[in-house]
Structure 1
Amino acid sequence: MKFALVFSLCFIAACAQHQPQFYSFSPAVGRGLGTSFASSGEGRITAVRVWESSGSYIRGFQLRYDYAWTQIYGRKYGEEQELVLYDEEAIVQISGKYSTSNFIYQLIFVTSRGRILMAGQPVGTSFNFYPEHSHCELLLISGRADGNGLTAIAAHWGMVYPANGNNTMMVH
């Protein structure tokens, strides 16, 4: 009995290690001044908030991983917009506009169900981030922000797998 349990645990661990591990990176756009950041959390991204100056640029954003909100990246100032994802829904695209001389002016988050959150103004150069592999989703956002708002943004994509035997998620 003891051997069977040890064998089963080893087999489960080996299977988890052999799941496909797809990762892609959408390189940063923007001027890149200010303090660098990278969002982090446990589990899948389940919501996003964005703050924009009325008729202007993106001040900050925040992600929710499972049930816990991250810190605010950038600044909580101006109009807040929020998108709460449904079960099994994921962010599969981020588009927007940026200026090489100052800020990220627009962010558009697109989900696997075709829903969107659009914040900011369509001013500047366009960008479009998406995963290189199907079945991948947004894992984290990195970039730079100064005291006024977001100055650069990049996206990291991959797969989220259920952890064995519980409801937590493992990100690869």
Structure 2
Amino acid sequence: MILLLFIALLSRTALADGHHDSEEYSFSPHVGSGQGISYALTGSGRITGVRLWEASNNFVYGIQLRYDYTWTDIAGRELGIMQEIELFHDEFIVQISGKYTHNIQSLVITTNLGRSLYAGRPTGHSFNMYPDNEKGELRLISGRFHGAITSLGAHWGVRPEPDYGSHYGKYY
């Protein structure tokens, strides 16, 4: 548990710099049992894709994020069916919700454009994570895994001003 607190504080410190107010960053506390090996999915740039692994109507076994054009390591395992969403250039993650017991039973990743990625079996206790600031977007995910994902927390930051260049409305 101390390690998770350390990761949360470290990531908050890493996200904050002298040019930003602390109100631009927020943290949704971890849900789940928190057993196993800790992980933090982080990268350079903005999140442009998400992959989730579920075993046929079962737990969420793995999570992977893409930052710009680079996929992170997988937290958990590549077990079962992979669900994937690629974000448009002007799209970002504004909500993570789902159900948990000992493991993360189900996840729903929702974007500002109303698109969602679903994985897992919706049984257990409900959770709902979103940024404190209305201009926030998901920056990184942290938690623990032991076979399947056993805990998950979300780190949010205010998104940069939109770029209405040549990529507007297209996939990365």
* Conservation of the 8 A alpha-carbon contact between 1:43 and 1:160: no
Q: TM-score, normalised by structure 2?
A: 0.80
Trace 1:79-98 onto structure 2 (pairs within 5 A). 79-98=81-100
Structure 2 CA distance for aligned equivalents of residues 56 and 17 of structure 1:
44
- Opposite residue 119 of structure 2, the aligned amino acid is A
Q: TM-score, normalised by structure 1?
A: 0.80
Match of residue 161 from structure 1: 160
Are 1:133 and 2:133 counterparts?
yes
Match of residue 104 from structure 1: 104
Structure 1 CA distance for aligned equivalents of residues 29 and 105 of structure 2:
17
Structure 2 CA distance for aligned equivalents of residues 59 and 92 of structure 1:
22
* Conservation of the 8 A alpha-carbon contact between 2:55 and 2:120: yes
Structure 2 CA distance for aligned equivalents of residues 115 and 54 of structure 1:
22
Trace 1:110-149 onto structure 2 (pairs within 5 A). 110-146=110-146, 148-149=147-148
RMSD value over aligned CA atoms?
A: 1.5
Structure 1 CA distance for aligned equivalents of residues 72 and 152 of structure 2:
16
Aligned length: 144
Trace 1:57-68 onto structure 2 (pairs within 5 A). 57-68=59-70
- Opposite residue 50 of structure 1, the aligned amino acid is L
Are 1:38 and 2:40 counterparts?
yes
Structure 1 CA distance for aligned equivalents of residues 75 and 122 of structure 2:
21
* Conservation of the 8 A alpha-carbon contact between 2:100 and 2:125: yes
Give 1:55 shift: 1.7
User: Is there any run of 5+ residues in structure 2 with no aligned partner, and where?
Assistant: 1-16, 162-172
Give 1:17 shift: 5.2
Structure 2 CA distance for aligned equivalents of residues 17 and 31 of structure 1:
35
The C-alpha deviation readout for 1:27-79, integer Å capped at 9, x for no partner, is 00000000011111000000000000112110001000000000000111100
Match of residue 169 from structure 1: none
The C-alpha deviation readout for 1:115-146, integer Å capped at 9, x for no partner, is 00011011100000000001110000000001
Give 1:19 shift: 5.3
Which of these two proteins has the greater Rg computed from alpha carbons?
1
* Conservation of the 8 A alpha-carbon contact between 2:94 and 2:131: yes
Q: Secondary structure at the match of 2:65?
A: strand
State the percentage of identical aligned residues. 51
